[in-house]
Chains A and B, each alone.
Chain A
């Protein structure tokens, strides 16, 4: 096992790098897009809510691989060239953002409605109430389930292997098919994924324990 790892060290590390890169990019953008669609879904405007709902239901219910293939195969035909890495990262972002939208929406809706009423009665606009009162409380409730989404995101990044995205899974496939040491290679790939996801998992448990049931102090 060790020789397979050391002989192909460069490929494994390149794969790890692409996996981390795609994950971080998708994490960043899916968090922004997801929050926007969460806010749309609870917006007072009916049109905004319907639009938000359609987006979420679409990307949540279409397989990640289908979305990714669309960007890898269909979009380039329209004259916009996308690398496997780019197509994979876009697919991951859109897919994950739908789940994040649901998580953030649930977090916002679990904040006592009295908080919004108090803020509005206090003269704040809807946006001010969201920004200063509702979202800060929602974020704390949302952190543990968001952690799960991020772990899923890292694992789902293996979709890049299907579109030549140079990620860990892609490199693993290459190494397995050239060395024929399939068991060992995929075991190593699995361990490398665990090295990313396990610390995330423990980090989330830690934050959850620290925040559960009480509000920490923060500045206005």
Chain B
């Protein structure tokens, strides 16, 4: 069963055409990476999936909910789709533990004890058990991002969206975050990852989507040969620039 389906989706900001004719289907358990130059619409595409951006036309079905339909309850949809942001966006007024337990307690109506027990298991998974009582501003960027991943996992989502999760991190922090993401991918989570980490896309991704100027120019399930030689000319140009850096 497919998890996410875009059918002829268009997105405009006023007169600016941000997404052109998007057709994309993501299966359950797939790890899809989206790459491309800045301003190509990657993040916009990702943000439509949990309704942070509304599509202008076409059809977008997430977990059997039609997001273009005004009657769709976005809160119910979002419950099933987690999101990890470039700038982490941990709740600045809450401790690490509360960051993770707040969603399960408020939205899933879990008891405090149950939510905290699960949160501690997730802290263990991301390797930050000793930080439960810390405040977000006491953590490094890499630690904050791992907590953000734990926070989205705590909702037991059907899929997690990653919006450039390592772009704001110091180089030595990136590996820790990517390792956590790899672990989650191995557990079978459906993941859509907008990234500039070509190594991650090649190693962990089941599929790579190349975007430029709001178009999907290439969508390849043969990740290895995409990175050897993409079919699309602009993708070739992009990869040669990124990899020779």
Which residues of A are interface residues toward B (Cβ below 8 A)? 112, 114-115, 117-125, 128, 132-133, 136-137, 214-215, 217-218, 220
Render B74-115 as a binary contact track against A, CB cut-off 8 A, 1 for contact.
Answer: 110011011101010111111100100111011110000000
- Interface assignment of B146: CB less than 8 Å from any CB of chain A: no
Decide: A220 and B103 in contact? CB cutoff 8 A.
no
**Chain B residue with the shortest CB-CB distance to A132:** B102
| Interchain Cβ contacts under 8 Å between A and B, 25 examples | A114-B87, A115-B92, A118-B83, A118-B85, A118-B89, A118-B91, A118-B148, A121-B78, A122-B103, A122-B151, A123-B75, A123-B103, A123-B106, A123-B108, A124-B106, A128-B106, A132-B91, A132-B106, A133-B91, A133-B94, A136-B93, A137-B92, A215-B92, A215-B93, A220-B102
- Interface assignment of B137: CB less than 8 Å from any CB of chain A: yes
Query: Which are the 5 A-B pairs with shortest beta-carbon distances?
Result: A118-B89, A123-B107, A121-B83, A114-B89, A122-B103
- Interface assignment of B52: CB less than 8 Å from any CB of chain A: yes
Decide: A220 and B101 in contact? CB cutoff 8 A.
yes
State the CA gap A136–B93 with chains docked (Å).
7
Within B131-165, the residues touching A (CB, 8 Å) are 135, 137, 148, 151-152, 155
State the CA gap A113–B55 with chains docked (Å).
20
Which residues of B are interface residues toward A (Cβ below 8 A)? 50, 52, 74-75, 78-79, 81-83, 85, 87, 89-95, 98, 101-103, 105-108, 135, 137, 148, 151-152, 155
Q: A122-B151, A137-B93 are known contacts; what are 9 more A-B pairs with Cβ within 8 Å? A: A118-B83, A118-B148, A120-B74, A120-B78, A123-B106, A132-B102, A133-B93, A220-B98, A220-B102
Q: Which of B85, B94, B105, B135 contacts A114 (CB 8 A)?
A: B85
State the CA gap A218–B94 with chains docked (Å).
7
State the CA gap A34–B17 with chains docked (Å).
39
Q: Which of B93, B95, B102, B137 contacts A122 (CB 8 A)?
A: B102
Q: Give every chain A residue within 8 A of B85 (Cβ-Cβ).
A: 114, 117-118
Decide: B103 and A215 in contact? CB cutoff 8 A.
no
**Chain B residue with the shortest CB-CB distance to A214:** B137
* B151 CB to nearest A CB, Å: 7
Q: Give every chain B residue within 8 A of A112 (Cβ-Cβ).
A: 89, 92
Decide: B50 and A121 in contact? CB cutoff 8 A.
yes
Decide: A119 and B155 in contact? CB cutoff 8 A.
no
Decide: B107 and A215 in contact? CB cutoff 8 A.
no
Q: Give every chain A residue within 8 A of B98 (Cβ-Cβ).
A: 220
A220 touching B137 in the complex, CB below 8 Å, given contacts A121-B78, A122-B152, A123-B79: no
* A194 CB to nearest B CB, Å: 35
**Chain B residue with the shortest CB-CB distance to A140:** B93
* A43 CB to nearest B CB, Å: 16
Q: Which of B75, B101, B151 contacts A125 (CB 8 A)?
A: B75
Q: Which of B52, B95, B151 contacts A117 (CB 8 A)?
A: B52
* A218 CB to nearest B CB, Å: 7
* A128 CB to nearest B CB, Å: 5
**Chain A residue with the shortest CB-CB distance to B101:** A220
* B35 CB to nearest A CB, Å: 22
State the CA gap A123–B103 with chains docked (Å).
7
Q: Give every chain A residue within 8 A of B106 (Cβ-Cβ).
A: 123-124, 128, 132
State the CA gap A124–B105 with chains docked (Å).
10
Q: Which of A120, A121, A125, A220 contacts B94 (CB 8 A)?
A: A220
Q: Give every chain B residue within 8 A of A220 (Cβ-Cβ).
A: 94, 98, 101-102, 105
Decide: B93 and A121 in contact? CB cutoff 8 A.
no
Q: Give every chain B residue within 8 A of A215 (Cβ-Cβ).
A: 92-93, 135, 137
Decide: A123 and B93 in contact? CB cutoff 8 A.
no
Decide: B78 and A217 in contact? CB cutoff 8 A.
no
Q: Give every chain B residue within 8 A of A136 (Cβ-Cβ).
A: 93
Decide: A117 and B78 in contact? CB cutoff 8 A.
no
